[in-house]
């Protein structure tokens, strides 16, 4: 199979490219390098620098490269930025994806979409199943939910085979391939914890220690980025085998939550370093716990997280961080 990976120079997209190649598929990467890195693209893949929102260009690429499936990772992900600049997020996450979908629908290709647990908003029950009410609390979640609704409509009207994968907390790295998180600015917990361990960040801030959780800090469901990539491969095979009638949304997580303090303790074990912490007040909009119910992905896609023990995630992220920072 020949797959197009949009955003394949980014964090999760670059890991997806590696998994596809290792599975024996051919890969074309389309990325504008606004947040991705050219050196993160595996040399075995064909790289095209460009904007996935340019429908005519994508039409030509799908035709000329004889693409058989599209996996879409090109999006903006910073929640706080989506609140301060919603116009940008609606344009890049929703309008741009709809432009891409014009080409995908015309080409009658299966489509795997990188979605998010942010579509659920503040949960009314935990663990969160796929039928949980959708009520995003920020524009980032709104933009992703809008695309999911479009996918359902396009599937019903045009026969588009699609899967939306709702990530919980992606983390970890594939250090042997030189792949890991390189966000600027960094907003994800684990790389921030590791920066504090390295000394490139003065301290780690904990936003609230009085949540209704066992140790008072927020609980999240952390999933290894390579487990995420494996899930996309499983989703793609599911669509190729079963067609548009198999379309739907799936949670990607482990079903087990870890608190901020647990992540910090894991980092201390792995790095064997102290991690300076500053405790502060709660951050508006943060739910106490976000944990996935993952039965549907296991039953329908035959997928389950295999590499997502918290120490394993931290160890891989640490190996990449040390390599990338040039420190030991």
Q: Is the dihedral of CA 295, 297, 303, 305 positive or negative?
A: negative
Q: Report the distance separating Cα 141 and Cα 287, nearest Å.
A: 14
Query: Of all helices (H) and strands (E), which one includes residue 169?
Result: strand 169-171
Q: Measure the CA–CA gap between 297 and 287, rounded to whole angstroms.
A: 24
Q: Which residues are catalytic?
A: 140
DSSP letter (8 states) at residue 255 = S
* 231: its two tokens: 């899930």
- CA-based nearest residue to 10, from 32, 35, 29: 35
Q: What are the C-alpha distances in Å from 215 to residues 93, 208, 254, 261?
A: 35, 11, 20, 7
Residue 265 has φ and ψ, to the nearest 5°, of: -65, -40
DSSP-assigned beta bridge partners for residue 28: 4, 46
């Amino acid at each position: 199979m020949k797959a197009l990976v949009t955003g394949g120079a980014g964090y999760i997209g670059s890991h997806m490219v590696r998994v596809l190649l290792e599975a024996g598929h051919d890969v074309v990467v389309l990325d504008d390098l606004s947040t991705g890195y050219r050196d993160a693209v595996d040399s075995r893949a064909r790289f095209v620098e460009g904007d996935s929102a340019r429908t005519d260009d994508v039409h030509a690429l799908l035709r000329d490269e004889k693409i058989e499936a599209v996996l879409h990772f090109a999006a903006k992900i910073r929640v706080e930025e989506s609140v301060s600049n919603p116009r940008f997020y609606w344009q890049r996450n929703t309008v741009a994806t709809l432009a891409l979908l014009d080409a995908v629908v015309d080409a009658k290709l299966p489509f795997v979409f990188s979605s998010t647990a942010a579509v659920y908003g503040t949960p009314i029950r935990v663990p969160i199943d796929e039928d949980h009410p959708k009520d995003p609390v920020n524009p980032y979640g709104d933009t992703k939910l809008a695309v999911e609704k479009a996918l359902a409509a396009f599937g019903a009207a045009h026969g588009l085979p699609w899967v939306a994968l709702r990530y919980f907390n992606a983390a970890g790295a594939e250090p042997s391939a030189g792949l890991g998180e390189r966000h600027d600015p960094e907003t994800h917990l684990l790389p921030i914890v590791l920066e504090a361990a390295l000394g490139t960040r003065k301290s780690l801030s904990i936003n609230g220690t009085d949540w209704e959780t066992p140790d008072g800090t927020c609980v999240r469901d952390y999933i290894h980025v390579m487990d995420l990539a494996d899930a996309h491969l499983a989703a793609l095979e599911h669509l190729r085998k079963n067609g548009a009638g198999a379309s739907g949304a799936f949670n990607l997580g482990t079903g087990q939550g870890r608190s901020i303090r647990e992540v910090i303790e894991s980092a201390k074990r792995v790095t064997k370093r102290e991690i300076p912490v500053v405790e502060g007040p709660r951050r508006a909009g943060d739910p106490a716990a976000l944990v996935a119910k993952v039965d549907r992905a296991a039953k329908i896609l035959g997928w389950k997280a295999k590499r997502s023990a918290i120490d394993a995630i931290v160890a891989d992220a640490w190996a990449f961080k040390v390599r990338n920072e040039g420190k030991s």
